[in-house]
Structure 1
Amino acid sequence: MKTHTPDSTGLALAFITPHRVSHLLARTPWDAPAEVFHGASQRARQLGYRLTEIACREEKLSGTRINQILRARGILGLIFSEMLGMENMHAIEWERFALVSVGTHTDSPALTHVQSDHYENTAQAMREVFKLGYRRPGLALRPYLDIATRHRYVAAFLHAQSRLPPTDRVQPLICDEKSEDVFKKWIRMEKPDVVVTGNYRVRGWIERAGFRVPGEVGMVHLDVSPDKSDCAGIHQLRPRIGAEAVDTVIGQIHRNERGLPAFPKGIYIESEWVAGKTLRRIR
């Protein structure tokens, strides 16, 4: 795709988030919303747009105040991050803007959204553990993650598990991060040989339940971060998600599409597999 250098016309997009994230990458090796913002900001610059960050909850902005800011800055398109964590969104003058959300898909308002392909992420994780010889994979998720992904993690897990004999099918566990005792009871009863999860605390839970990782039980994380580089799992490519969100909203601007879409689209970005020390070849 042809890119353009920024010019003085002031083409502007807004990245709307509950809390400011642009500064976080300088302080921590990994932060999910900040990675999305970084990818979006780079892509916007390539295409000649400036991306303004608006932290509506942190700055205690009302819907009316948000509208004033957007008009004053000449914003053409809005990219929403972590929309479930924001109030006053219904007051936004939707009809004025091109719109896209990143991350969690919401129904009210229903926007075209760009997110990681959670179903394929889990399917890929299952293919990798099967290749290594694991035959009793288990899935352990926090309730909010199951809901936020619209049960795609569970759906992909159950589909992959269906190829196994019924005696090797482990019941998924949905429990919060304070439920170590529930997890220990589950792992001792179900006896998975590998646990697929979105919670880094699970590694400690496995070990405190009396199992060595990866000697007795393997572990796969569905959202590996660079500072946990010894863990096998899925690296969600959030800068690509941010870049795709910019491409999507600019495409709407070029097509003169404004306001809430009659038929929202879902755009799913595939991730990459990261080998790590929490798995071993067992067959």
Structure 2
Amino acid sequence: MSVTLQQIAQTAGVSAMTVSRVMHQSPRVSVETRERVQAAIQQLGYQPDPHLARMMTMVRGRKKARVRAVIAVIRETAPKDALHQTAYQYVPIEAIRQRAEQHGYLVEEFWLGQDGLDSEKLVRILQARGIEGIIVSPQSSQMLCAQLDYRAFAAATFGFGLTQPSLHRAAGNMNLGIQMAVKQLSARGYERIGLAVTQWIDHRAEGAYSGAMLHAQQSLPVGQRVPVLLFPHNDFSRCRKEFMDWMDAHHPDALITFDQHVPEWLNKMGLRVPEDIGLVVHDWTPTMKGYAGIYQRRDHVAAAGVDLVATQLLQNETGVPEVPRQILIPPQWIEGESIRAKLV
């Protein structure tokens, strides 16, 4: 049975705080009291717990140095990459920092491809800094983050852009988002609902956009099914002709697509939103006032990604997992003036 500080204090006729001070060689204890406490320690056969002592040493050291651990957020920068357009939304650093703070971590961004920073150099920097947790946020079609050596890190990624290596990931559930949008549009009397996004967006979501749309169309008469338009270029501003040809061929009465370029193209075709055609933004953000849309709630995606890394750090797990965990955040439907009201 282990001996407690309270038992030593009772035997020596002092307080537990005084016993603690003697053990830590505090000069605030008189010689007579120190000898009395040491005699009680010897009489009771007290042995310190090495695990507890180590833990308390680490805690005191951190308080003294005020050192805080860091989670690295790894972005990508590639010159002239179309995925850096403002039309493509990414998980904001502010949302990542907010969740990391709740776990006690700081957050720093590192940009692969910027100022000669390649994957090998970045790994050396992270290890030299003692950074063990990383969140990968793919932001280029070149997937520079796929070249990193993940063996020494607790890692997670956002979305499905990074397919190999397959890390733990947090993403929006866009299968659910598309089905939600189709249901909302159908409730307003739209019958020919079209989806127009880039191939990269659909690929990044593992076919969730096109798959959900094809699933929704199975319950429609064949004449109401509008083929999915996957813009052939990541820079979809170059896809005006493909869009107009698709519109002329299939005549959708509602679109799930981008808030950029498409409204201008519709205007040039003499179509008014929402009088002639409904428009739903596939990736709505609070800056898109007036548009109905699918809000992917990236603040919750950010929180889930941080949680995945923090859990691995707590469990001392590093490297590419054998079975990657996936957290899907359900999106939120946003009402807007770009579609007509529900039918009564």
Which band: TM-score by shorter chain?
A: 0.7 to 0.9
Q: Distance in 2 between matches of 1:88 and 1:273?
A: 32
Residues 91 and 242 (structure 1 numbering): CA distance in 2 closer, same or farther, change over 3 Å?
A: closer
User: In the TM superposition, what is the alpha-carbon distance from 1:30 to its structure 2 partner?
Assistant: 10
Residues 269 and 36 (structure 1 numbering): CA distance in 2 closer, same or farther, change over 3 Å?
A: farther
Indicate yes or no: 2:76 matched with 1:10: no
The amino acid of 1:130's aligned partner reads S
Q: Percent identity?
A: 30
Give the one of 160, 184, 192 matched to 2:244. 184
Indicate yes or no: 2:218 matched with 1:158: no
Q: Secondary structure at the match of 1:228?
A: coil
User: In the TM superposition, what is the alpha-carbon distance from 1:186 to its structure 2 partner?
Assistant: 1.7
Question: What is residue 147 of structure 2 aligned with on the other side?
Answer: 90
Q: Distance in 2 between matches of 1:99 and 1:141?
A: 29
User: In the TM superposition, what is the alpha-carbon distance from 1:281 to its structure 2 partner?
Assistant: 3.0
User: In the TM superposition, what is the alpha-carbon distance from 1:86 to its structure 2 partner?
Assistant: 4.4
CA displacement, residues 71-130 of structure 1 (integer Å, 9 cap, x when unaligned): 1221121100116544375352x2211110113332221111111111111111111111
CA RMSD of aligned residues (A): 2.3
Indicate yes or no: 2:112 matched with 1:56: yes
Q: Distance in 2 between matches of 1:88 and 1:244?
A: 20
CA displacement, residues 22-59 of structure 1 (integer Å, 9 cap, x when unaligned): xxxxxxx99833x4321111111111111121112223
Question: What is residue 132 of structure 2 aligned with on the other side?
Answer: 76
The amino acid of 2:72's aligned partner reads A
**5+ residue gaps in structure 1?**
1-5, 20-28
Q: Distance in 1 between matches of 2:341 and 2:281?
A: 17
Question: What is residue 96 of structure 2 aligned with on the other side?
Answer: 40
Alignment of 1:261-276 (within 5 A): 261-276=321-336
Q: Secondary structure at the match of 1:120?
A: helix
Residues 16 and 200 (structure 1 numbering): CA distance in 2 closer, same or farther, change over 3 Å?
A: same
CA displacement, residues 234-268 of structure 1 (integer Å, 9 cap, x when unaligned): 11211211111111111111122111111112211
2:138 and 2:162 in contact (8 A); partners too: no
2:146 and 2:162 in contact (8 A); partners too: no
Question: What is residue 192 of structure 2 aligned with on the other side?
Answer: 136
1:13 and 1:49 in contact (8 A); partners too: yes
Question: What is residue 115 of structure 1 aligned with on the other side?
Answer: 171
The amino acid of 1:16's aligned partner reads I
1:97 and 1:259 in contact (8 A); partners too: yes
Q: Distance in 2 between matches of 1:201 and 1:248?
A: 37
Q: Distance in 1 between matches of 2:274 and 2:114?
A: 41
Give the structure, 1 or 2, with the largest relative contact order (CA under 8 Å, sep 6 or more).
Answer: 1
Q: Distance in 2 between matches of 1:69 and 1:216?
A: 56
Q: Distance in 1 between matches of 2:200 and 2:259?
A: 12
Alignment of 1:193-208 (within 5 A): 193-198=253-258, 200-208=260-268
Q: Distance in 2 between matches of 1:170 and 1:190?
A: 6
Residues 203 and 31 (structure 1 numbering): CA distance in 2 closer, same or farther, change over 3 Å?
A: closer
Q: Number of matched residues?
A: 268
Larger Rg: 2
Question: What is residue 315 of structure 2 aligned with on the other side?
Answer: 255
Q: TM-score, normalised by structure 2?
A: 0.72
Residues 89 and 172 (structure 1 numbering): CA distance in 2 closer, same or farther, change over 3 Å?
A: closer
The amino acid of 2:75's aligned partner reads T
Question: What is residue 246 of structure 1 aligned with on the other side?
Answer: 306
Q: Secondary structure at the match of 1:207?
A: helix
Deviates more, 1:59-68 or 1:119-128: 59-68
Residues 191 and 234 (structure 1 numbering): CA distance in 2 closer, same or farther, change over 3 Å?
A: same
Q: Distance in 1 between matches of 2:341 and 2:259?
A: 23
